[in-house]
Amino acid sequence: MNLLLNHHLAQHEYLRGRLRTEFPDADEETLCDTLEGLSSLPEMLACVLRSYLDDLALAAALGIRISDMEL
C-alpha cells in the first residue's frame, strides 16, 4: 500500500509541476480542480484514511473485549 501511495503522490506532484509550467497564471482553485481530475491521489488518500479509521475502531473494540474477558 505504501509503495502505491508513494507512486500516486509522485504522479500528483509531477502533474502539479507540469500544470504550473504550462499554465503559470492559473489560480489555486483551478489548479486543484484540474489535478483532481487527472490524479487518483485524493481517492488513494481517502482509502488510507478509511483504513486507518477502521483500524482505530477495531482496536477500540478489541480493547473492550479484552477488558470484558479479564473480569
Domain residue ranges of the chain, discontinuous segments joined by +: 2-70
Residues 6+ apart with CB under 8 A from 8: 39, 40, 41, 44
d(CA 32, CA 39): 10
Q: Per-residue confidence at 6, pLDDT binned at 50, 70, 90?
A: confident
Predicted pLDDT of residue 65: 95
Q: Per-residue confidence at 1, pLDDT binned at 50, 70, 90?
A: low
d(CA 45, CA 1): 11
Could you give phi then psi for residue 20, rounded to 5 degrees? Answer: -60, -40
How crowded is residue 19: how many other Cβ atoms within 10 Å of its Cβ? 16
d(CA 26, CA 47): 29
Is the pLDDT assigned to residue 9 strictly greater than 90? no
Report pTM.
0.61
